[in-house]
Chains A and B, each alone.
Chain A
């Protein structure tokens, strides 16, 4: 193959700050061969994006390359200046960012934006550029490319926007495509489509791809080689199979153990978080950067000198002095399942719940059409019950109505129709302001965004104490303080955090405070809306485990809203799968995660990337987009995207609820025998489960 397309050698990148230069990346080596797809994986803050920007030579005013070289296609990138560099960017090297909306100019039509690329980089005329743009839109499999050309960015969905951005990057006929978390902002089923598209196009056009992601499963499924980064260094590189199957660095292993695997038994594969936090650049420890968090740390060897990258096998290197001594095949840590409190009485019952949001009427349109205003049908007939000490997960893509349901439950919104009974009391039509304090205390919530969940103006202790005072019945200053300290212990935060402000806490720590706050009043039901999705993988595991422990100890009912099926599998007792405001399948975790499936559940399971190399998976790609909730399709809500659609009946009639023994219910027209005959999506070999 000769010289690789891209080669970073001993690359060091620093940022100038007021308190001196801070090294972001040091001694970094990376090779991307021609036509090869290489993954760059690591937690946020490890320097992945800095490397990408360095390759684009776009480090901003404060960043600079302190040492090393970057060679692209035989030329020295670092020697390029001005015009030469500009021709390269968006031409031979294309880049796709995380936020598609931020990459598109909102005041230009898609067609004009796309046509600019061949006009600038290929010197094409207007007509020719348009033709190329149209062709590329077809290639990225956008429906009705002619219409898309005339659209404005805001008229497209997130997945469509990202396809346009990819088309734009590919129009420059790049030899290297850098993808920086290209699907993190998208739903799993959309993500699966985009990842498949990128893979297909890269093969077809012979483009090399540098795929940056924090998602191990995604990297494993898309890349040939992978480079694991930690604290600004590459700690392990090699072929995907070798790195994921026979890792030689404790950090790689830690990452893999921290990710739940859908399809694997939660007791055979407990989540093991990595202790500690990523050191800040400038505060990195001597010797191995990972040693303060490493379980194999040996004083005198790991915390001294420079740890070099060493050969660990053919095309496999690792930055660890001890990898020969570690028994990598040793059994994974095992934890006995915590005693599951047997579900008791029904705490929460929801019947025929419906929530419509009226759209503001346009007076003129209403006059002409004569009808009433349109409505967003966020929730459409939801029925279920949750028992004491049970964990019920609600899964579904964004826009399926799961967050609206949480709001209605909390009383932040009121139901349009239907009933919610909380411990026997009807609360569905009562806004939280009018609920009795004793009722309010029964139901608490953990929010998604750790950066918004705490009031930045008040100390941690004050915010927990407020809940203790309201629901704990405590008035005495000392008693409240003691209870707050107890709660800090419960979420395993140091007591010194009592006087800290939220901005002094990391995302995971904030979420711990939010958990303490939610449990402070001894609620019967806690609603957790994506409580870990904004956190890094190594922290996610810790928070998820903490939540589960506290819930089991207190016998609280937990409603866990999530899009992460692996996590749901790990945490939940029962699962509700939502699509367009309806529950399309419900049952225990085992029932939902194995056949018979609702076709949507089947697609969701298939779309979730799996990091474990031993799990094999059947691929199902969903066509099209989630229909708008203002005009849901008639008949079955899923009929527009269903790969198992039967025909007319799906378009005209709402499917019946088929009951498969116990509480397993599926909303589908397909006869039960056929649903039962479907093969499992995920196959775990016997030895991995044991």
Chain B
């Protein structure tokens, strides 16, 4: 039997690709499981973040009340009940409580400072990369001047001129980090602005701000997330360092850097007073760095 041509006349059957599972933000977090490094980093960060969040409700002693000085970890107070799980410092304040409250402080200010640096850096980078021309020259020149300044000097100048306060730390970190962020974003924007979807947006008459914020910004997100993790680590170190130099957040509230500075001369007497905050700083920074490494590894796999 001979068949005549059976093809449908007008409409071709519609190619429908199998729908891949929807990947929302939660699923993206699930991908962290692909990298053990990222999981370790995220675990450390989660530990500190939980402590910081729960500090007010945890059964902790007051971090600023002097009790019995020079207690070692596990010592019991004179009342026979209170246990100093991590000992006390030279003024008799509970170390455990100071560490937990200190984590709250450093996480809040480090995040705030990094976020501010990002807002400034991303906006400058988008404008410089996408608009180009004189805007690029002005922004890039300013960034180069700031980058050529030793960071340490920049911090000391800002804090000594404006005084030691949380907001001034945010300001100092923004000044120091924004130029680097701006460079990354500028490079990405330069690459992306020739893409057809950006041309398509221009061709329908979208304004430059909409193109920068809606078309470009979501697509520079990937590399920036890795960078943000690393930068959070640096900022943690910066805040600790400023505290150590006495330029940090004002006392008496606990600050890890300050804790080391106050107690390190007594290191031979009671090492835990300086070592514990130092270990806390190290672990937090390590957490950020591991997470950044893991995220990079995952992003390279695609």
Q: Which residues of A come within 8 Å of B, CB atoms?
A: 272-277, 283, 295-296, 325-327, 330-333, 335, 410-412, 432-433, 435, 437, 440-441, 443-445, 447-449, 452-458, 466-467, 470-471, 492-494, 496, 499-500, 504-506, 508-509, 514, 517, 521, 539, 542
Contacts and interface: CB of A to CB of B under 8 A. Distances in A.
Most chain B CB neighbours (cut-off 10 Å) among A335, A455, A467: A455
Interface in B200-234: 200-208, 214-215, 218-219, 221
B5 A470 contact: no
A192 to B, nearest CB: 29
Contacts of A333: 5, 7, 9
Given A449-B196, A508-B15, A432 B205 contact: yes
B interface majority secondary structure = loop
B6 A327 contact: no
Given A445-B203, A458-B214, 7 more contacts: A275-B14, A283-B18, A332-B5, A467-B204, A470-B204, A470-B206, A499-B22
Nearest to B302: A503
Interface string B1-30: 111111111111111111110100000000
Interface size class of B (residues with CB under 8 A): 35 or more
Contacts of B18: 283
Nearest to A447: B196
A247 B21 CA distance: 40
Contacts of A410: 203
B302 to A, nearest CB: 10
Interface of B: 1-20, 22, 195-197, 199-208, 214-215, 218-219, 221
Contacts of B204: 440-441, 444, 466-467, 470-471, 521
10 contacts: A273-B12, A277-B15, A325-B1, A325-B2, A326-B2, A330-B3, A440-B203, A445-B199, A448-B196, A506-B17
Contact of B197 (A440, A452, A506): A452
- Which A-B residue pairs are the 9 nearest by beta carbons? A457-B218, A275-B13, A327-B2, A447-B196, A440-B205, A452-B196, A295-B6, A455-B197, A277-B15
Nearest to B205: A440
Contacts of A332: 5
A509 B12 CA distance: 14
Contacts of A456: 219
A433 B3 CA distance: 58
B17 to A, nearest CB: 5
B224 to A, nearest CB: 13
A510 to B, nearest CB: 11
Given A445-B200, A448-B196, A452-B197, A276 B4 contact: no
Contact of A412 (B199, B218, B221): B199
B12 to A, nearest CB: 5
A359 B267 CA distance: 67
B56 to A, nearest CB: 38
Contacts of B11: 492
A504 B17 contact: yes
B218 A276 contact: no
A457 B201 CA distance: 14
A274 B7 CA distance: 9
Contact of A457 (B2, B199, B219): B219
A385 to B, nearest CB: 22
B203 A444 contact: yes
Given A275-B12, A435-B205, A331 B200 contact: no
Contacts of A448: 196
B298 to A, nearest CB: 13
Contact of A433 (B9, B20, B202, B219): B202
A433 B199 CA distance: 12
Given A295-B5, A470-B205, A447 B199 contact: yes
A472 B206 CA distance: 15
Most chain A CB neighbours (cut-off 10 Å) among B1, B17, B197, B218: B197
Contacts of A433: 202, 205, 207-208
A277 B17 contact: yes
A331 B5 contact: yes
Contact of B14 (A326, A454, A457, A493): A493
A455 B219 contact: yes
Contacts of A458: 214, 218
A539 B214 CA distance: 31
Given A275-B13, A327-B4, A437 B205 contact: yes
A501 to B, nearest CB: 8
B190 to A, nearest CB: 15
Nearest to A462: B214
A466 B195 CA distance: 18
A61 to B, nearest CB: 15
B3 A325 contact: yes
A121 B202 CA distance: 54
A670 to B, nearest CB: 40
Contacts of A325: 1-3
Nearest to B17: A506
A452 B195 contact: yes
A446 to B, nearest CB: 9
Contact of A496 (B8, B19, B20): B19
A404 to B, nearest CB: 13
B297 to A, nearest CB: 14
A306 B28 CA distance: 41
A272 B12 CA distance: 8
A511 to B, nearest CB: 11
Nearest to A275: B13
Most chain B CB neighbours (cut-off 10 Å) among A273, A454, A466, A514: A466
A505 B5 contact: no
A542 B205 contact: no
B20 A504 contact: yes
A333 B8 CA distance: 9
A437 to B, nearest CB: 6
B196 A453 contact: yes
Nearest to A527: B203
A335 B219 contact: no
Contacts of B208: 433
Most chain A CB neighbours (cut-off 10 Å) among B5, B200, B221: B200
A60 to B, nearest CB: 16
Contacts of A453: 196-197, 200
Most chain A CB neighbours (cut-off 10 Å) among B16, B197, B204: B204
Contacts of B8: 275, 295
B23 to A, nearest CB: 8
B98 to A, nearest CB: 44
A605 to B, nearest CB: 29
B196 A335 contact: no
Contacts of A441: 204-205
B19 A504 contact: yes
Contacts of B9: 333, 335
Given A273-B12, A325-B3, A452-B196, A412 B17 contact: no
A586 to B, nearest CB: 25
A452 B194 CA distance: 10
B15 A275 contact: yes
Contacts of A494: 14, 16
Nearest to B207: A433
Given A440-B205, A470-B205, A455 B12 contact: no
B123 to A, nearest CB: 18
A683 to B, nearest CB: 26
A330 B200 contact: no
Given A326-B3, A440-B204, A509 B17 contact: yes
A542 B201 CA distance: 26
Contacts of B5: 295, 327, 330-333
B15 A509 contact: yes
Given A275-B15, A433-B205, A440-B205, A295 B219 contact: no
Contact of A542 (B12, B199, B207): B12
A411 B206 CA distance: 13
Contacts of B12: 272-275, 542
A44 to B, nearest CB: 14
Contacts of A466: 204
